[in-house]
Structure formats: C-alpha cells, structure tokens
Amino acid sequence: MLRENKTKLLFFIIFFVSIAISTFLIIKNNNSLIFEFNILNKSGDQRLYIQLGKNILKQHFVPHIYTVGYSTFLLPIIFFLKNPEWENISRWAVIIQSFFLFPVTIAMLALIFRKNIKRYPPKVILSLTTTLILLFSSELLILRGSQDPIPFYLFFGLIPYSETWAIFLLTSLYFLLICKPLYPRSNFLWLSIGILSSFIVSVRVIFLILVLPVLLYVFFLFLQKNYKKAGYYLAGLVIGYLPQATYNFLATGKVFFSSYSWDWERKQEKYTDLIRRLYNTDTHSIFSLDYFQVNILVLWEHYFHFFLLAVLIIFLISYLKRLSLNRLDLFYLATVFSALVYVVIYLSYWWSSNRDCIDRFLMPLTFFLVIPLSYSINLLNEKHDRKNINQK
C-alpha cells in the first residue's frame, strides 16, 4: 500500500513539474501558444497534417506525403473548431501536447524506472540522477544551439508536429509491456500492446525500428507456448494498422503504400542541387551510403551522446550478467540496438544535415533510451546487493 501511494505521488509530482516547464516557456513566448510563428507560417509541416485531416473529414482520399496517425489525433480538433485555420488548430494541439501528452510521457518513464529499480540506495540514486541530468541537459543544449529552433520547443510538445504524439504512444507501449497496469494475463492488455505497435507506425514510420524489440518479446512468448497472448497481439497489430490500410486503399487501391517514396518520386529533381551541395554527389535517393559517410563525421556532435549512452547500457547489461543473458536481458539489449539502428538510418537520410534537421529526428531517443537505462541500473544495484551479502 505504501509503495502504491509513493508511486502515485511520484506520478503527480512529475506530471505537474512538466506542466510548470511548459507554462514557463509559454509565458516567455509572450503568452502565445504558437512558437516560431514565422517558420510555421512559411514552411511548417503542421499545414500538411491539418490538410490530411480535413481531407479525411471531407472523405477526399488522395495520396499524401504523410501517414494518417498524427492527422487522426488532429481530427477532433478540426471537427469541433468553428474556425479551423492552422493557427487555431495548432493552439489546441499544443495545449493537449504540452499539458497532457508531454507530462504523462515523463511520468510513465518515471513509473518504468520505479518498476525496474527495486530499491534506491544512495549510490543508485546518485548514479541515476547524474546519468539522467547528463542525458537530458546535453540533449537540450544541443537542441537550443541547433540551427533549427523548432526541435527545442518540440521536445516539450509546444510545436504541432507528430513527434510528441509518437513519443507518447511509444512510451505508452513500453509502459503497458513493462509495468502491466492491466491484469498481466488480460487478453485486452496484449490486444492493446498490438494495436499500439502498429498504430505508432502510422504516426511515424521510422518508429517501426523502435517497436521491433516488442516483436522480439512476443516471439519469446510464442516460444514459451503462450499462443493466446501472441495471438491477441497479432490481432492488435491488424486492428492498429486498419486506419492507415483503409486510407491507403481508398486513395491508391493498395493496402500497403509508401507515401514518402511516392512524394520523393515527384519532387527529387527539386532537391538535386541541395544534395550535391551537402554531399558532393549526384545520388538521387532518400537514403544512401554516400550520405552516411558524410553525416557520420559532420554530425557527430548531434548523435555522439546517444552513442555513448547506448554503449554504456550494452556494457552494463553484458558485463553484469557475465554474458549469461536471459530473455529479459535480450529484450532490453534489443531496445538499445534498435536505437543505434535508428541513428544509422537517419545518418543515411539526405535531409539530416540540412540546417541541423538531425536534431529533430534524433530527439525521441532522449525519451526512449531511458527505458533500457533503468534496467541496466537495476542490474548494477543487484550486483551491489550480492556483493554486500557475500561480504557478510
């Protein structure tokens, strides 16, 4: 009972502190809910998401550069607003993102920590606090110094882009899987995990990489002959993909459709000169080894802290378990390797080095890597306990 009360208190403290941070930034922005108005007004992605939402409400189904996930989030706002201009829609999106999605995301990460770390001796508290401060402060400093001012505010949900919604859903997915707030044997739990796993991909396709460890977890369930759980998860995958599949079919006649590749085929000539200037190559593709070879050197300051943290977590888990890894160890290692693959993919993406766009793309890892970090610190804590017992 005492532990449950402390958990609830932790949730609400972090929730309200997060709200306070967003409120402070809004006050500094002259009490305006629209940050970097000139950029959003000129070339903001929110217009494309909003237009896709309006198309859905009008039942006007045509191929679109973006998937439907974030526009689905915007649908109720667009539907209920009497004046559905982008500014009004954006204000309401920012209110929901910064005063609900961002605080709940941070609170869920704290609860995952609470679940993974059984005890909090002083050494663990010190190492934990130091690591988190270094991670978040280094990322915020990078975002603050970025040529693109959007990612800094996007971190707190103050920009009406898809990242906040995607990070919230991804954190919810791992929260359900690790903390199991529902009855662990509940069919609804595994159905929900499946729905989230596929729906996240319709918000940001690249997040498929970060969902793969969950597929590994379910594969382990299958090996343990938990066919019912695996079956409900697979059913959830189908349900979660239905909104995107339906739109794809109505717009193109295909269930699976790569919207970004479709848009790239139409616009690639427009970016030929920019690609040549950035990479000194005539490559005309979205992803290329040519881009990776340049970006891995030019952009190292933007991704190196993620790389260091990933290596630290891999070392802790592998060393502390003496390579006698169980399935849970492999699951958390998979989350770290998926984060590294995520970095490699974006270093191979042509747009990443243009005006520090890499900062926006990698920002979700600040939240995601907290999950395996909590597990590795708990292993360190357990080793410390065993050492004390042996000494006695």
Does pLDDT of 360 surpass 80? yes
Whole-number Å distance between alpha carbons of 295 and 289? 10
As a whole number, mean pLDDT of residues 94-112 equals 93
Residue 14 CB neighbour total at 10 angstroms: 19
What number is the average pLDDT over the span 299-305?
Answer: 93
Average pLDDT value for residue range 208-215: 97
Report pTM. 0.94
Q: Which residues contact 325 (CB under 8 A, 6 or more apart)?
A: 317, 318, 333
Element (H, E) at 95: helix 86-96
Of 268 and 182, which is predicted with more confidence? 268
Q: How confident is the model at residue 141 (pLDDT cuts 50, 70, 90)?
A: very high
In this predicted structure, what is the pLDDT of residue 392? 54
| Dist. CA 368–CA 161, nearest whole Å | 18
Angle 69-80/227-252 helices, nearest 10 degrees?
70
Q: Whole-angstrom Cα distance, residue 361 to residue 297?
A: 17
pLDDT for the residue 383: 66
Measure the CA–CA gap between 165 and 102, rounded to whole angstroms.
9
- Per the document, the length of the chain is 392
Q: How far apart are CA 283 and CA 297, in angstroms?
A: 19
Residue 33: helix, strand or coil by DSSP?
coil
For residue 63, what pLDDT is reported? 93
Average pLDDT, the chain: 89
Query: CA neighbours within 13 Å on the CB side: how many for 386?
Result: 8
Contact (CB, 8 A) for 294 and 278: yes
The residue ranges of every structural domain in the chain are: 2-391
In percent, how much of the chain has pLDDT > 70?
91
Tokens coding 309:
């943290």
Write out the DSSP string of 117-158.
Answer: -----HHHHHHHHHHHHHHHHHHHHHHHTSSSSHHHHHHTT-
Mean of the pLDDT values across residues 9-26? 86
Please check the confidence at residue 129 and state whether its pLDDT lies above 80. Answer: no
Task: Tell me what percent of the residues of the chain surpass a pLDDT of 90.
Answer: 62
Residue in this structure with the two tokens 């539907």, named with its chain if needed: 79
What are the distances in angstroms from CA 134 to CA 14, 143, 342?
A: 18, 14, 21
| Separation CA 318–CA 113 (nearest Å) | 20
| CA dist 387 → 80, 306, 319, 382, 384 (Å) | 61, 30, 15, 9, 5
State yes or no: pLDDT of 282 exceeds 80: yes
CB 359 within 8 A of CB 153: no
Q: How far is Cα 301 from Cα 213, in angstroms, rounded to an integer?
A: 27
In the prediction, which pLDDT does 387 show?
58
Tally of CB atoms within 10 A around 188? 11
> Pick the residue with more confidence: 10 or 216?
216
Look-up: residue for tokens 């009004």? 88
131 burial (CB, 10 Å; 0-12 / 13-18 / 19+) is middle
